[in-house]
Amino acid sequence: MKTRVMISLMFGLTVSAAQAAKMDGAPAAPCEGLKVATGPAGKGYSKLYADLVRVSKNTMPLCEVNTEGGLDNLTTLSIKKADVGIVPMDALKKMAEGDANIASLMVVAALNSNYLHIVTSANGLILEGPKKYGVLKGDTRTVRITRMSELRGAPVALVGSAQLMVRQLDKVLGYNMRYIDVDSDAIAFQKVLSGEAYAAFSVAGWPHGQITRLAPNSGLTLAGFDVPISSPYSVRPYTYKNLGVYNVQALAVQNVLVTRPFNGAKIGYVAALRQMLERELLELKDGDFEPGWNEIKSFESKVEWPRFAGLPLKKK
């Protein structure tokens, strides 16, 4: 009990000092608490972070570090530009193979899942067959991509974390897809509509903000994931009423909140963040917060990765 009181007092003083340093037009004060790597402002991980700030009622010394997303969060943590961050398990395992700093990260809490969204043309692709007699225009046919297994050898647009995920999947599946890396969902969707890509792959929690904003007449739909897969992945259904897509099977991967290993005061900060998550989970599920919280049954859900224990590391 005494330890919790000390942590609360320490947090309260830190937050008060940070707030006192803020002035209109002045540069942002240095972060005196935990720097949290999220993603693009206003999107998935950043919205989860905003929910944490709301339920903490500004008693937690947290500062957001906006990045490009889960994959970028791992690099940001590795170079000590953030203290904790939200990352998908597949990227964590893969990136840890070549980076000792990433390999030393510890799971603070299991969160919601990310889903691989396979966006395809609702009207199909018009493909031209071989030329007749070597010179005449070949017959055309319309092909509608409705599932993952139909993308063998196809050009596909990849956004953000999908650039790593799909490449890793392709190595296992042997589909030999042709990758087009792009910077945004909007560009990826346009490449599908133009026929340059047979599908666009985008990774996000459900519901995917960019997809929920698509109009029914956008010309886009979602293909199902029909390939057997193993850990750290699972297959779960999702629905997007605006596109007329119901209970389509999608590839899912667990998100986790991870921390760098600490020996000093930040251990207490991370422990207090973990306690706050436990204390506020029901409010996060019941209140006006992101739907991703409703997926979480327990922050202790099993993940194949070392856990944060809330204790200093033993010096060798």
User: Which structural domains are found in the chain, ordered by start?
Assistant: 2-21+30-111+255-295 (3.40.190.10), 115-254 (3.40.190.10)
- In angstroms, rounded to a whole number, what is the distance separating the alpha carbons of residues 237 and 189? 21
In degrees, rounded to 5, the angle at the alpha carbon of residue 87 between the alpha carbons of residues 113 and 281 is 55
pTM: 0.82
pLDDT at residue number 210: 94
pLDDT at residue number 115: 97
Q: What share of the chain is helix, strand, coil (3-state, %, to 5)?
A: 35, 25, 40
pLDDT at residue number 296: 95
Segments of the chain scoring below 70 in pLDDT: 1-29, 127-140, 311-316
Residue whose tokens read 């029909």? 226
Are the beta carbons of 155 and 196 closer than 8 angstroms?
yes
pLDDT at residue number 1: 44
Q: Which residues of 19-50 are buried (b: 16+ CB within 10 A; e: fewer)?
A: eeeeeeeeeeeebebbbbbbbeeebbbbbbbe
At 155-181, the pLDDT tens digits run 999 998 899 999 999 999 999 999 999
Are the beta carbons of 95 and 101 closer than 8 angstroms?
no
Residue 96 CB coordination number (10 Å): 17
**CA 233 to chain CA centroid, nearest Å:** 14
Are the beta carbons of 295 and 147 closer than 8 angstroms?
no
Burial class from Cβ neighbours inside 10 Å (0-12, 13-18, 19+) for residue 171 reads exposed
- Of how many residues is the chain composed? 316
Q: Is the dihedral of CA 80, 105, 49, 223 positive or negative?
A: positive
